Structure 1
Amino acid sequence: MDLTYEGTKREITTDKGVIRYHEAGADNSDVLILLHGSGPGVNGWRNYRGNLEFFAQTHHCYIVEFPGFGVSDPVEGHPVLTAGSSVIRFMDALNIDKAAMIGNSMGGVVAVNLAIKHPDRVTKLVTIGGVGPNVFSSSPSEGLRLLQEFTDAPDRDKLVRWLNSMVYDRAIVTDDLIEERWEAAADPDAQKTASTMYGSAAFEMQQKFLADADFPPYWAMMHKVKCPTLLTWGRDDRVSPPDMSMVPMRLIPEAELHIFPKCGHWVMIEAKEAFEATVATFLAD
């Protein structure tokens, strides 16, 4: 099994453009879809390349590249909404009736929304930080403020400050990682998506929209998530602090929570072995 970028990458054409993805573990019958987060230079491969080999031992794995992050074809609309619709288009195109899902940060929000709106398509759900409202911590968090500063006026120093806020152990932020993220963040589609989500003007518009909306936020609907759900969190997450887990832990009927010590926002990277073992047990149960 060639679990390199070139060895696993695929693409499929849908009615709204090409969706690119990575595939491994095709001999397994249980399907696992991995959904990435947001931020400068992010994509599905960079989020999960270190975990793909492990999960492909037991599951037919797909890492989906969301529209607007410089890999799949962009589509119009808010990135969280277009990401969700792209997952359904992807599943339909490959005749995947239902699947377990792992979602990192924004990918977790996408997966929760899918479990609410399409409960028959999501069998089990694993989130990695990012879901729920801030209960005790400030909003936006330190990490999101650093992300906003980078989005408003990108430079390498701001990128480094944001990357350091993502982890507990700053040794993870290597020169190679900085260069990889800096180069990818220059992609025009990725810049447009970042501006839509995290720019100062966009943030103010979103806050006003939420204040004036006559419908509840997604997290207030999490009691509708019927599938077994594992919430994973880094105890030292400065992007989505662990107090955010309190609401989904209480509202999702079949939720369990695992918090990893000495770990920031990238649980699947920084607590790799412990995360994989915990998720494997949950998926096999």
Structure 2
Amino acid sequence: MDFVLKEEHGFSYIDEGEGEVLLLLHGLMGALSNWDKVIEEFRGQYRVIIPILPIYDLPLLTTGVKSMAKYVHKFVKYKKLTDITLLGNSLGGHVGLIYVLSHPTLVKALVLTGSSGLYENAFGGSFPRRESYDFVKEKVEYTFYDPATATKELVDDVYQTINDRHKVIRILAMAKSAIRHNMNKDLHKIHIPVSLIWGRDDKITPPEVAIEFNQQLPDSELHWIEKCGHAPMMEQPDEFNKYLRLFLDKIKAK
């Protein structure tokens, strides 16, 4: 489904529905379309907002997870958002954790799926064969339990991105920043409710990452999705939305 991309005050974002705010943050190689099924499911009861993170637009020296969290805050202030439930996949989860630590009064709940912040097994420190389409296809398929989820359109997008020198330098800078900013010593400070919705077959942020998040976050719950990799909201959207709705209903009941 195509949603309207709004361009305003230097921000590009999707803003669908009305009600309490669900703020969705995409991953390093992710796109707004990764969240299509979440928007479709929840925009009838919630205001679902997804900003495009400026991963390729910041000066190289300031490209990192902290600068992304600062960008999110500028967006939140501009849109005058409060009482936010924040959802993050992969790098988006990591940015969400940093944001919650910096602005705990603005976020009432957090959902992490395949989040970085503790450990991840991504592309590694380089793209040794980025000119090879088959290599890129294999790496994108590695993201999912079912390789068929890696559509040609998805592979084409990633291939194009990592063969753009300007973009690939920033991707590597962002990946290194994520490794440097390990959240291990800070998770105990996050006291809002957190739902961890994790693919049982995630090879990038494997199950032990979810277990560690669950152990260290004081008010967290962990849900597994079987036959699912690093992006449950794409690969198993019905299961993901089921657990998300249960969590949102629980928060409302409080």
Report the alpha carbon displacement of residue 187 of structure 1 after superposing the two structures with TM.
4.8
In structure 1, distance between residues paired with 2:169 and 2:205: 23
User: Please, which of 1, 4, 13 is the counterpart of residue 21 of structure 1?
Assistant: 13
Whether the 8 Å CA contact 1:132–1:248 is kept in 2: the answer is no
Note closer, same or farther for the CA distance 1:158–1:46 as it changes in structure 2 (3 Å cut).
farther
What TM-score comes out, normalization by structure 1 length? Answer: 0.79
Identity, in percent, stands at 26
User: Please, which of 5, 11, 20 is the counterpart of residue 9 of structure 1?
Assistant: 5
In structure 2, distance between residues paired with 1:62 and 1:227: 20
Counterparts in 2 of 1:46-195, with a 5 A limit? 46-69=33-56, 73-75=57-59, 77-134=62-119, 141=121, 144=122, 146=123, 148-150=125-127, 152-155=128-131, 156-187=133-164, 189-195=166-172
In structure 2, distance between residues paired with 1:180 and 1:50: 20
Counterparts in 2 of 1:184-223, with a 5 A limit? 184-187=161-164, 189-198=166-175, 217-223=182-188
Report the alpha carbon displacement of residue 161 of structure 1 after superposing the two structures with TM.
1.5
Structure 1 unmatched ranges of 5 or more: 135-139, 211-215
Report the alpha carbon displacement of residue 94 of structure 1 after superposing the two structures with TM.
1.0
Report the alpha carbon displacement of residue 188 of structure 1 after superposing the two structures with TM.
5.3
In structure 1, distance between residues paired with 2:117 and 2:72: 21
In structure 2, distance between residues paired with 1:187 and 1:283: 39
Note closer, same or farther for the CA distance 1:218–1:78 as it changes in structure 2 (3 Å cut).
farther
Equivalent residue letter for 1:24: E
Whether the 8 Å CA contact 2:66–2:98 is kept in 1: the answer is no
Report the alpha carbon displacement of residue 159 of structure 1 after superposing the two structures with TM.
1.2
Q: Counterpart of 2:220? A: 255
Note closer, same or farther for the CA distance 1:149–1:185 as it changes in structure 2 (3 Å cut).
closer
Secondary structure, counterpart of 1:87 in structure 2: helix
Report the alpha carbon displacement of residue 190 of structure 1 after superposing the two structures with TM.
2.8
Note closer, same or farther for the CA distance 1:246–1:133 as it changes in structure 2 (3 Å cut).
same
Whether the 8 Å CA contact 1:132–1:244 is kept in 2: the answer is no
Note closer, same or farther for the CA distance 1:147–1:19 as it changes in structure 2 (3 Å cut).
farther
In structure 2, distance between residues paired with 1:184 and 1:240: 22
Whether the 8 Å CA contact 1:249–1:257 is kept in 2: the answer is yes
Structure 2 unmatched ranges of 5 or more: none
CA RMSD, Structure 1 to Structure 2 (Å): 2.2
Deviations, residues 134-191 of structure 1 (Å, cap 9, x unaligned) = 4xxxxx63xx1x45442x5522222112111100011112223222332344455532
Note closer, same or farther for the CA distance 1:268–1:84 as it changes in structure 2 (3 Å cut).
same
Whether the 8 Å CA contact 2:112–2:195 is kept in 1: the answer is yes
Note closer, same or farther for the CA distance 1:47–1:113 as it changes in structure 2 (3 Å cut).
same
Equivalent residue letter for 2:40: E
Deviations, residues 263-283 of structure 1 (Å, cap 9, x unaligned) = 000111111101011101101
Deviations, residues 101-142 of structure 1 (Å, cap 9, x unaligned) = 1000111111111111211011110001124534xxxxx63x
Whether the 8 Å CA contact 2:195–2:220 is kept in 1: the answer is yes
Note closer, same or farther for the CA distance 1:187–1:63 as it changes in structure 2 (3 Å cut).
farther
Equivalent residue letter for 2:68: A
In structure 1, distance between residues paired with 2:47 and 2:166: 29
User: Please, which of 8, 24, 32 is the counterpart of residue 34 of structure 1?
Assistant: 24
Report the alpha carbon displacement of residue 284 of structure 1 after superposing the two structures with TM.
1.7
Whether the 8 Å CA contact 1:74–1:189 is kept in 2: the answer is no
In structure 2, distance between residues paired with 1:187 and 1:99: 35
